[in-house]
Amino acid sequence: MLWTLLTVSLIGSAQSGRTQSEDRRLNGTTSQSTNYLSYTADRAIDGDLEKCAHTLDRNNSWWTIDLLGVYRISNITIYNTEQLNTDMSGAQIHIGFSRRKNGTDNPLQKTIQNFKKNHFNNYVFNTTVLGRYITVFLPNQAKHLILCEVMIFGTRKESRFKLVKEKMRWDEALYYCRDRDMDLASIVGEETQVWADLEARKAETPFVWLGLRYTCTLNFWFWVDDQRLTFNHWAPDSKTEECDMSVAMEKQKDHFWYSKPDNEMFNFICAK
């Protein structure tokens, strides 16, 4: 049965203009709004069509997967068995880089219509669909969200970032990167923020240096590789505009940015 699903998914990939060899099945960590008994979120990706993820019948139920990387998503296949409450018509598929509102703040890519039970419902996306988080969401409905198998296909977009697990001052970190034909990392959007998040998680210090520095002579922040500062992820009340201050990202939680004195010793992220 799973071979049938694989075939259906790959046919969908080919129809979207991608070759079969480019796409592979993606995996990650899952969660959902509530658990009905022991029917946890990971059951939707375990390869067993008879074991389903299952929420309680609450309003705005959701299921989400963190792919732990940046991926081009080509197609998603959803299979549900023939039982009560398994019709997913009206559910939405959101794909993007944000965890806000359990991923439902990400762009809506598909509203499911005419869902068929005991059938591999295949949804093909444009090759420009990028994301880390995929969420299936039942908006404005007080019902169970049931997913027996969700198969996601796509290709990984390789990160340009590399964590260096050396403890250095900000200026030492900058020279370390540049001596190796790299630079301290600039974060210019949600995609590069995700890359930095994933590197920061592996750090051995509570913060990691980035390539954002404050000049008290000209009174502005600048990226050391001359990228425009059009995106930010500051923690609340954490922006200190003083001499000898640079930006470090926290290792855990929301990976917010903080102003830190240049002489503090942290791991750091270089951009290849």
Is the sign of the CA dihedral 98, 73, 163, 227 positive or negative? negative
Same domain, 56 and 188: no
Give the CATH number for residue 63.
Answer: 2.60.120.260
pLDDT digits (tens, 9 = 90+) for 43-89: 999 999 999 999 999 999 999 999 999 999 999 999 999 999 999 99
What domain count does the chain have? Answer: 2
Same domain, 266 and 218: yes
Whether the predicted pLDDT of 20 surpasses 80: no
Same domain, 148 and 19: yes
Tokens 């640079």 correspond to what residue?
246
pLDDT digits (tens, 9 = 90+) for 199-257: 999 999 999 999 999 999 999 999 999 999 999 999 999 999 999 999 999 999 899 99
Q: Which of the two residues, 2 and 102, has the higher pLDDT score?
A: 102
Same domain, 24 and 64: yes
Same domain, 151 and 225: no
Whether the predicted pLDDT of 19 surpasses 60: no
Domain that includes residue 38, residue range: 2-156
- pLDDT of the residue at 126: 78
pLDDT band at 9 (very low <50, low <70, confident <90, very high): very low
Same domain, 15 and 150: yes
Q: Which of these three, 127, 156, 185, is where a domain ends?
A: 156
* Residue 181, both tokens: 């034909």
Same domain, 25 and 63: yes
Residue 54 CA to residue 83 CA, distance in Å, equals 12
Same domain, 203 and 264: yes
Same domain, 148 and 206: no
* Residue 222, both tokens: 């600048």
Q: Which of these three, 156, 182, 202, is where a domain ends?
A: 156
Same domain, 183 and 151: no
Give the CATH number for residue 214.
Answer: 3.10.100.10
Same domain, 165 and 149: no
Q: Which of these three, 132, 156, 180, is where a domain ends?
A: 156
Same domain, 152 and 224: no
